[in-house]
Amino acid sequence: MTTSKLNETKVKEGVENLFKILQQHKNFKKKSLLSKVEPIFLQIDFIKVPNVKKTIVRIPLEHSLVTNTSEVCLIVADLIRGRKVNHEMTINRYKKILEKKGITDVQRINIVPSRQIRVEYSEFEARRKLCNMFDIFLIDNKISSYLLPKLGQPFYRTRKWPIPIRIKRKNLKDEILSKLKKSSMALNGYGTSKVMQVGHINMSIEEITDNIISVENYISTKFPGGWDNIRSLHLKGLRSAAIPIYMSLISANDVKKPVLKTRKRKAILAEDELTTIGKKVTVYRDGTVKIHKK
């Protein structure tokens, strides 16, 4: 277990002070009654710019950002391809899959087929409206690499990047719930300041504090440059002042070049169903063989 670099008491004080600032806003009570609750962001300032290609980092949190009124959109692959295919067939099929897997914890999961994204939300304004319709987006990992670039700026600006999930996973319920307990942050190889959501005004001070500690643990073990590359952490609302909760005075000369560690994917030589054992088998170019579980 890693030793915390943050002072938990100071973090709680920072959250309390931010809540006091937000409560002074005229529309605070009005906003808290709506489904679009005021988010709480953590601003992370680096000492050196991480040397990474454009990527989305998913950081696990102790407490989910999903509320009882959160609208969740699940983007799925089309059952049948074609320009005049009815969306309802795909929607009904995936609804049955969710019901079969016992997914009842999320109050609202709205299914949107891939073709509907391509046909009805091809224009910028339509994609912006789609982005505003839902609080959280999930996407079948089979189509994520193809479809995510088409969603464009509305999703990037609002930090609502769809989260890839493995729909064919046996325990789909755990897969979805675990992904809904993550927050996303964009890394792009430039800029020393990044922002991610760690809570909202309907969460307790303790829950938001726990989430910030979760982010610290992730930074310490998996982030480019680790904790040594963090200059400061601030808490803020959508339009509030930033509250400092951590500051480092370390010299930039003492920080190594921050590089994001990635796993190298093995090159596939062949992949097919092996009828003798009834399972899918993958053969890699280095000679290793993987037998997939059904």
- What pLDDT is recorded for position 31? 47
- SS3 string of the chain? CCCCCCCHHHHHHHHHHHHHHHHCCCCHHHHHCCCCCCEEEEEEEECCCCECCCEEEEEECCCCCCCCCCCEEEEECCCCCCCCCCHHHHHHHHHHHHHHCCCCCCCCEEEEEHHHHHHHCCCHHHHHHHHHHCCEEEEEHHHHHHHHHHHCHHHHHCCCCCEEECCCCCCHHHHHHHHCCEEEEEECCCCCEEEEEEEECCCCHHHHHHHHHHHHHHHHHHCCCCHHHEEEEEEECCCCCCEEEEECCCCHHHCCCCECCCCCCCCEEEEEEECCCCEEEEEECCCCEEECCC
Distance CA 19, CA 114 (A): 40
Distance CA 96, CA 76 (A): 13
* Tokens coding 201: 């005004």
- What pLDDT is recorded for position 34? 40
Q: How many CA atoms lie within 13 A of 259 on its CB side?
A: 5
- What pLDDT is recorded for position 198? 94
- What pLDDT is recorded for position 70? 81
What are the structural domain ranges in the chain?
A: 1-63+181-250, 66-172, 265-294
Q: Between 3.40.50.790, 3.30.9.10, 3.30.70.20, 3.30.300.130, what CATH number should domain 66-172 receive?
A: 3.40.50.790
Total-model pTM: 0.75
Give pLDDT tens digits along the chain (294 positions).
Answer: 445 678 899 999 999 999 999 888 755 554 443 446 788 999 999 998 887 777 888 899 999 988 777 888 999 998 877 666 678 888 888 888 888 888 765 557 889 998 888 888 888 899 999 998 888 899 998 888 888 888 888 888 787 888 889 988 888 888 888 888 899 888 877 778 899 999 998 899 999 999 999 999 998 888 888 888 899 999 999 888 899 999 998 888 888 877 765 555 555 556 666 555 666 767 665 556 666 765
- The CATH class that applies to domain 1-63+181-250 reads alpha beta
* Tokens coding 7: 């002072």
- What pLDDT is recorded for position 54? 78
Distance CA 125, CA 184 (A): 23
- What pLDDT is recorded for position 104? 64
Contact assessment for residue 237 and residue 11, using Cβ atoms and an 8 Å cutoff: no
CA-nearest of 180, 198, 126 to 155 is: 126
- What pLDDT is recorded for position 238? 83
